[in-house]
Amino acid sequence: MLSLRIICWCFVLLGVVSGGVARAGNPIVVMETSMGTIKIELFEDKAPITVKNFLSYVEDKHYDGLLFHRVKPEFMIQGGGLEPGLKEKMTKASIKNEAGNKLSNVRGTVAMARTRDADSATSQFFINVVDNDFLDREKSPDKVGYCVFGRVIDGMEEVVDKIKDVKTGSRKGQDDVPVEDVIIKSVRLSK
């Protein structure tokens, strides 16, 4: 009985300690922002099309100089498509939605933004700042959902939470826009 209790506590402790550790083999990107550095593990095994798409934008330096243009402190922070001045940047073709991968939109996960069209994601992504499981395919009102393809492994409290708390307003017909630009300086594949 005592040994079973010790084994259970070891698994709990291991889960807590490894919470910010990436799984072997998954790509990691380093996102430098005007508010600090965020490291993101990409779930290549669970969302191969989405990760390949995201990494193609990383390789092309598409994200360099773009904004986190939509910030909702009780929901998510979104970026990857607009330049300062809220000018939309050209993207590649949209990709197939992989929201059926059983990954949940919980705090710290990274998912693809899309329009009402299920397969409309291009370069824009968001980081969930709270648990948003209503965005998962099974619970989503449209039964399509939003594809989780990564998770923040470093910089959640220090950077993402600072971004989610910036002052926002309306600009150029868009709501929840940071009053002061939050810039994605660069995104690079970690070595």
In a domain? residue 102: yes
Reported as type and span, the H/E element at residue 8 is helix 2-17
Count the neighbouring beta carbons within 10 Å of the beta carbon of residue 69.
23
pLDDT tens-place string over residues 3-35:
444 444 444 334 433 345 566 789 999 999 999
Tally of domains in the chain: 1
Rounded distance between C-alpha atoms, residue 30 and residue 152, angstroms: 10
| 94, part of any domain | yes
Mean pLDDT, the chain, rounded, equals: 91
Q: Which residues lie across from 127 on neighbouring strands?
A: 77, 110
Asked if residue 6 belongs to a domain, the reply is no
Domain that holds residue 152: 26-189
**In the chain, what percentage of residues exceed pLDDT 70?**
88
Helix (H) or strand (E) holding 189, with range, is: strand 183-189
The CATH number covering residue 164 comes to 2.40.100.10
pLDDT of residue 14: 40
What is the distance between the alpha carbons of residues 99 and 101, in angstroms, rounded to a whole number?
5
* CA–CA separation, 40 and 151 (whole Å): 5
The region of weakest confidence among 11-15, 47-51, 81-85, 119-123 is: 11-15
Q: Say if 8 falls within a structural domain.
A: no
Assigned domain for 68 exists: yes
Q: What is the pLDDT of residues 62-118, one digit of tens each?
A: 999 999 999 999 999 999 999 999 999 999 999 999 999 999 999 999 999 999 999
Q: Judge whether 21 lies within some domain.
A: no
Please tell me what DSSP assigns to residue 24: T
144 falls within a domain: yes
Least confident piece of the model among 20-29, 44-53, 82-91, 138-147:
20-29
- Sequence-distant (≥ 6) Cβ neighbours of residue 10 within 8 angstroms: none
Higher pLDDT, 11 or 169: 169
- Considering the domain boundaries, does residue 10 fall inside one? no
